[in-house]
Amino acid sequence: MARDHLYHRELFEVLRTHPLADKGWIKQLTELHEAGDAAEPRFVRFFERERKALPANAWAISGQGTYRAGHHYKGLINGKTPFDLSLYTMLLWELRPRTIIELGSFHGGSGLWLADQLSLVGGGAVHSFERFAELVSPRAQHPLLTFHQADLSDLGTLDAGLFEGLAHPWLVVDDAHANIGNVMRYLDRFMQVGDYYVIEDILCDFEGARYDEIGKVVDELRYEVDTYYTDNYGYNLTCAPNGWLRKMG
């Protein structure tokens, strides 16, 4: 996958001989650009990654647990860190998904935010799934957004017919933390090469057996970690460390 548009190669080529090149912040950006180009490969196997986040845990930096103003969207709780809101906007621009599948709706703020963002990059559909439908605010409404009630511990509550008809590329955002391996296997039946599957909050599993279980499924289904997103602000400085996954084959 080309990275030119991500690193704005054409701008940096011009800056090499431009008077602005002497400015400190321009020089720093240029060095970061060159370091990014040298940091190959972009996509790596799950177990090649370390179980750590540097310089710190994104949750700790952002004060995620307080659910204060920085984590609301249009008055609804949107439980994503500022780092991840930025990362998702970049992925949406690069991927231009036709379908976003959100697992775990909670208050509906994140689904509403995703629908608004999707409308800016060409449209499509957001399908958000929540076990406790009463948590979703009636104010979480958007023409591109549909909420579904489903219990991910029981895959029979998912409608295969729905997934079969959804346009690609897909972005799956797993923020439900339930039955992850089996849910991933289920959705993978309908996914195509180039689709993305983001497993949020996997940091909670770094020290446990579930991390290895998830990794085995990721390898089995041939997904790889996209380090452009995991490491954009620092090594795994995201609420989905080692969890920004691209379907490779």
In the chain, what percentage of residues exceed pLDDT 70? 86
**Cα–Cα dist 151/94, whole Å:** 31
pLDDT band of 185, cuts 50, 70, 90 = very high
> Which of helix, strand or coil describes residue 27?
helix
Give 36 or 71, the one with higher predicted confidence: 71
| Residues 127, 146 contacting (CB under 8 angstroms) | yes
In 3D space, the residue among 113, 148, 111 whose CA is nearest the CA of residue 126 turns out to be 111
Helix axes 82-95, 109-119, angle to 10 degrees: 40
When pLDDT is averaged across residues 100-108 and rounded to a whole number, the result is 96
Band (145; pLDDT cuts 50, 70, 90): very high
Q: Could you give the domains of the chain?
A: 41-247 (3.40.50.150)
Tens digits of residue pLDDT in 188-198: 999 999 999 99
As a whole number, mean pLDDT of residues 106-129 equals 97
From the list 236, 220, 231, 184, the residue with the least C-alpha distance to 58 is 236
- Mean pLDDT value of segment 109-132: 97
pLDDT tens for residues 40-54?
Answer: 689 999 999 999 888
pLDDT higher than 90, residue 68:
no
- pLDDT on residue 69: 46
pLDDT of 77 reads 87
Flag whether pLDDT at 7 surpasses 70.
no
